[in-house]
Amino acid sequence: METRDLHLMTGWIAMLLGVVVGAMIGLLFHDDNWAGGYQSWRRRMMRLGHISLFGIGFINLMFGLTLRAVTVPDSHAGVASVAFVIGMIAMPLCCFLAAWRKPFRHFFPVPVVSILVGIVTLLLGWSRT
């Protein structure tokens, strides 16, 4: 599968997961005290995990479309691709793990740095063409 197609597929899978996860946790949102209440750490982390599926899924969609529209060297596209996939998996995982056990919050640099590396690598590669 071409890198651009992989990211279009990854983006849409993330959107689907965002809807499914939102529906699952949404079944319990009517209870003001669920997961410690609206302002609790657990509930905030679950909301962040849910929305990260859409947000980073959108980044993957845009990356796939960008690779169709502009020339980016294969070396840069490859590094950015791996970084975006790691970020796509790691961010919601970190959010939900941190909601479960607070010490997992220390893993947040993994998805943040991954997405940062992906964006910077894409921009550097794009600027060299």
The answer to whether the predicted template modeling score (pTM) of the entire model surpasses 0.85 is yes
Q: What is the pLDDT of residue 104?
A: 97
Amino acid present at 129: T
Indicate the average pLDDT of the chain. Answer: 93
Tens of pLDDT along 43-95? 999 999 999 999 999 999 999 999 999 999 999 999 999 999 999 999 999 99
Report d(CA 62, CA 10) in Å as an integer: 11
Q: What is the pLDDT of residue 36?
A: 66
Report d(CA 54, CA 34) in Å as an integer: 23
Query: Is the separation of the CB atoms in 97 and 107 below 8 Å?
Result: yes
Q: What is the pLDDT of residue 90?
A: 98
